[in-house]
Each structure stands twice: as structure tokens, then as C-alpha cells.
A and B are shown apart, each in its own frame.
Chain A
Amino acid sequence: MQFVQQMINGITIGAFYSLVALGYTMVYGVLKLINFAHGDLFMWGAYLGLTGLNFVLGLMTGASAWVILPAVVVVMTTVALAGVVVERVAYRPLRSAGRLAPVISALGVAFILQSLARNIYGANWKTYPTGITPTGGFQLAQGVRVSVMQIIVLVVSFVLMGALYLFVQRTRTGTAMRAVSLDHDTSRLMGIDVNRIIGVVFLIGPGLGGVAGMIVALYYGSFDFTLGWVFGLKAFIAAILGGIGNIPGAMLGGMLLGIIETLGSGYLSPQWKDVIAYVILILILIFRPTGLLGERVAEKV
């Protein structure tokens, strides 16, 4: 029965990794840039969610789960706009400067965002207001328990990921996005406004990341300014594992990493889980360098 519980634990952690991994994968898809600032935009989602919640709670009497909705809207728009600003200020001027400069610029933005959060909100752990998230859960069997929050997290994650997938596959903007990810110049010749599409990617990726940050904070109840570092790194790895640039790959990679880590800490020890997780990661990459669902890009001359 412990195995079932460990799978539930792993899928929950995996869902968070997947949500954050989407942001890495989308940006990589269109720009071939690893947006290291993504983890910290995600962390800002948690902080802005806290500010938003406290603001809304201050306007009304009594706590209810509905206050989460306006806060989510605030977080999504603010972090999405922050993402666009980051792209405009730190990435676009460097787009023709080779591969290395934008990566360093991204790292710089990550440090700036982290320090800003620490200086504005303080270094101590922040706690979300209590009484707004549903408590309780279902005892499925002796030693197997699923909380209401876990179910909500999973449903919300899958809905968000599904919506994103449909958006990219079925809409005109999504099609343009896929075109841009193949070739900027050809897309431009086909009449696609490449800068606009990149802008849209930097709206959606960080927007989703911000919401993910808020969900993580609601789920765990507390966090500090290092949140983006831990989740960002793991999600980045998940994106590579699934095949960076590939949206279903990010979902698969996140889930897989969450489950492998959990089984590693559950059946060996948390001290060994990273060893196990990364041995598996290296093995997968040796046999599939493009990740599990990554497309093999044939270089045609």
C-alpha cells in the first residue's frame, strides 16, 4: 500500500515540475534559449499571489475559496507582463549575439528577480493565509490518503496543460508559434510577425509559471525566495528529459522526474534520490539525446 501512496506523492510533485517545465520548453522552442529567469518568475507568482490574496481578504469579511480567483488573475497578468518586459529588455537586444550572451543575460535576470523578492518581501518564510484552501482528504485504504488539495492541483494542472496543448495545436497563433520554432526567417517570409509571436510566448510561459507558483504556495502553505531555484532547476531538467521544445514532453518529463525522485527517496533515502534520478536521466539522454519525446532534427544541407 505504501507504493500506492508514494505514487500519489510522486504524481503531485511531478505535476508541479510539469507546469514549470512548460515555460522552459516553450521559450526554448521559439528562441533556442534556456530562460533561466523562468524559475524566478514562478517564484514571483507565489509572492504576488500572497499580496493579491491579502489585498482581497482585506476588502471582505471572512475567508472563502473564491478570493483565489481574483488573485490568480492578478498573478497571471502581472507575471505575464513581467515576462514580456524581461524578453524585451534582456533577450531581444541580444538575439543576434550568439547563444551564450542571452543565457548569461537570463541568469542575470534570475539573480535580479531573486534579490528583488528577498529585498521587497524579506528573507523569512512567507505563509499563505489559512482557511481559503479546502482541507481534508480521502482515506483510500490503510496508509493511502489523497487530499482534496492534491486532487485540485492535479485537475488544474492537467486542464492548464491540455489548454496550452490545444492552443498550440489548433489555433492560428499556435500554428505560427510552431512555425517560428522551426525557422524564424522562413516564418517571416510567410507573413508571420516573429516578434509578436515571441511576445505571445513570453506572455503565456511566465503567465502559466506565475500561476504554478501560486498553486505551489497554496499547496505547501509556505515558501521563501529560494523557491524558484529548486523548482526551476528540477523543471528545467524535466523539460530536457521529456525533450526540450516539446510541450507533451515537458508534461511527461515532469511527471517522470517527480515519480522517480519520490520512489528514490521512499525506497532508499532522500539522501540518495538525486543520485538515482540523475543516473536515470543520464542513461535516458545517452540513448535518446533529444529527450523522450524530442524530435530528431535532421540537419539538411
Chain B
Amino acid sequence: MYKKLAFLFLVIVLTLPLFTGCGGDDEEGPIKIGLQGPMTGDYAYEGQGFEKAVKLLVEQTNEAGGLLGRDIELVIEDDAGDPTQAALVAQRLVDADIVAAIGAYNSTATEPASEIYNDAGLLHVTPSSTATGLTQKGFERFFRVCFLDDRQGLFAAQFMKDVLGAQNVGILHDNSTYAQGLAEHTKRYSEDMGLNVAFYDAINPDDQDFTPILTNIGGAGLDAIYFTGYHAQAGLLLKQAADLGLDMTWVTGNASNNPEMIQIAGLQNAVGTYVTTEPLPKDVDYPEARKFVSDFEAKYGESPDSVWWMMAAEAFNVIRYAIEETESTDSKVLAEFLHNEAKDINGLTGPILGWDEKGDREGTIHVAYIIDANGNFVLNPEQP
């Protein structure tokens, strides 16, 4: 009998939290803002950068007196880039009574998280998830500060055709939501422009060895190949392609916009690789951006090398701006403000023209970089 009672007690204790903690912002105490990202796992470099970038701004805001007279409290959760984990930590952030959420890094993780934030009616801004489908679900409080994959796909196709003069192109992705989306858009635009997509396939990003597919790529007679996956695999691909003696131009997408790619590939194998991306922090010539970069360097002793760290900071700034302007922490008010009234803001990553009705940032800022002999990403002199 007592066993049954103990079990009942356990059930009650375990389900209690379900009935509490749904109170929302109580307009007292700190304003809680959630940040979820891959603090561990394959994309940990980016997740940890998110944390640094946003923490810096939160500290600066609090030192300057906070927001609406209240401090900001940053609640950080690690989703490891994993969709299951992402849903879990999103729920945890909702339970922690945040007023808005920033994250996740990869589209695969952002997708389930956005469902949960939407159900909870929270403002959700992703710094870096560019899969087109994310804003096609009619979520009225979901925004992104990065740009859509289809714009980058268009840019990549134009770049390969006009700047590289390629005829036969290959496209390689890694089966992640983001990379596959970008690959499909690039394929569509390439074919529309009359390019011949002679190779289209995907790698398994858990692999360490890509020589089997590289051998096929070598046999396909390509002028250029566009890899839409992440930087670690891009580095391994470049190295192994060189080991196999392949001779073709590599173009990579914005997930490879990371100096670690060069390290992994080895400098001699990475030189001459093109990267289509948003401009790097150092090439963004706005006072706000320059100040952020120098503050970041002063605090952490390193520069914000990844554009996604800047985007995370941008996401926070957008939320802060909306709260300041509307003097509200109600997600509905904030979202309506961003949709309708927020225009021509001086962002850290360039001017923010505004957001369309789906929550996509308007305009585009994509450029092509080339890796020079010293291993630096420099703006390619020729842009489409």
C-alpha cells in the first residue's frame, strides 16, 4: 500500500511544475531574455560566440541603467545544435518566464524551438538560421536578422556564372535543413541562368573521410563546386580534395565563413577558395559595428571573427530597440512594432531596412570573399 502512496506522491511532485511557472513577465524584477544555442557539439564555436556577444551587450545595457528602469537578465541554454534538445531547452526558457528568445544557431534546431516559442506567444529572433521554410509557417512573432537562403542561392549562382565564368557546376550539401535549402535554391537559380548542374549530392557530416564522394566529384568535369554545409566539413573537403589532386574552384556558403575552415583545410589547400556570405565584422563600416568590435576585443581579447556572433548581437539589439521604443515587454506589441514600424535602423551588420510580413529581414548584403595567401578572408575584387 505505502508503495502505491509513494508512487502517487512522486507523480504529484513530478507534475507540479507543469502547473506553475506559466505566469509570463510580471513587470517587476529583471527583464529576462533567453538565448539558446549550441554551447557544445559540432557548432560550439558559434554557440559560445553567441554567448560572448550577447553577454557583452547585456552588461553594457545594465551598466547604462537597464531597460525601462529594469535590469536585463540573460538566461542561456545549450541545445547542442540538436533538434530534440532544442525543443527541450526552448520549453525550459518559456518556463523561466523570458520575454523574448534569441536562437538557435542552425535551422535544424531553430525549427522545433520556433514552434514552442510560437505556442507560448513569445517574440523569437534567430541570429543565423536561414532555411526558407522557417518563416513560411505563419508565426507572427518569429523574426530573423540574417538573410534568406534563397537570396544567397541567387547570389552564388550569379557569382559562379558571371565572376568565375563557370559552365559545369556542382552543388554539395550535408542534408541539414539549412544546407539542403541553400543547395536547392542555388540549383534552381543556376539552371534558370543556363548553367549545367552536373553534380548534386550530399555528404554525411558525421564522417571524417569524404574521399569517396570527392573521387566522384573529380570525375564529373566541373568548373566550380558550391558546398553549402558547415566549416569543419568544408575544411576536411578542401584538404582531401587537394590530397586527391582535384583541380577545380571551390565556393562555399556562409556557414563556412569561419577561420577554422582554413586551419582544418591547411592554408595551402584553402587559398583561392571563395565564400559567399554576409560581410565580416571587419568589413562593416558603421560606427555601431566598429564600437562593438572594439568593445568585444577589449573584453575577450579576441575579435568577433564569425559573422554569426555579430548577428547574435544584432538579434539582442533588435529586441532591446523594440522594448525601448514601445516601452513594453509584451511580445505581441514588440512583434507588431518590428513588422510595421521598425524601419531603417542602424544595425551592427548593416542597415536594417525592416521586416516583411513573414518576419524576414528585407534587403540583402551578400558578398563574395576569397581566401588569400595569408589565410585571410578578403573581399573578392570582382562581385557580380
Which residues of A are in contact with B by a Cβ distance under 8 Å?
Answer: 2, 5-6, 9-10, 12-13, 118, 122-125, 127, 130, 137, 139, 143, 145, 147, 149, 216, 220-224, 226-227, 230-231, 261-263, 265-266, 269-271, 273-274
Contact = CB atoms under 8 A, between A and B. Distances in A.
Contact of A266 (B45, B208, B213, B239): B213
A123 B204 contact: no
Interface stretch (B26-34, B99-107, B215-223, B282-290): B215-223
Contacts of A273: 204, 212
A12 B210 CA distance: 12
11 contacts: A5-B244, A13-B211, A125-B232, A137-B245, A145-B245, A223-B208, A226-B206, A262-B211, A265-B212, A270-B202, A270-B207
Contacts, number: 101
Interface stretch (B13-21, B36-44, B188-196, B308-316): B36-44
Contacts of B39: 123
Contacts of B235: 125, 222
A271 B209 contact: no
Contacts of B203: 270
A118 B45 CA distance: 12
A270 B40 contact: no
Given A2-B216, A6-B215, A224 B201 contact: no
B350 to A, nearest CB: 27
Nearest to B216: A266
B264 A222 contact: yes
B224 interface: no
Interface residues of B, number: 36
A269 B212 CA distance: 9
Going nearest first, the 9 A-B pairs with the smallest beta carbon separation are A123-B44, A9-B211, A265-B212, A266-B212, A222-B264, A262-B212, A124-B45, A127-B263, A145-B245
A269 B244 contact: no
Given A127-B263, A137-B243, A230-B208, A220 B236 contact: yes
Nearest to A13: B209
Contacts of A221: 239, 264, 266
B48 A123 contact: yes
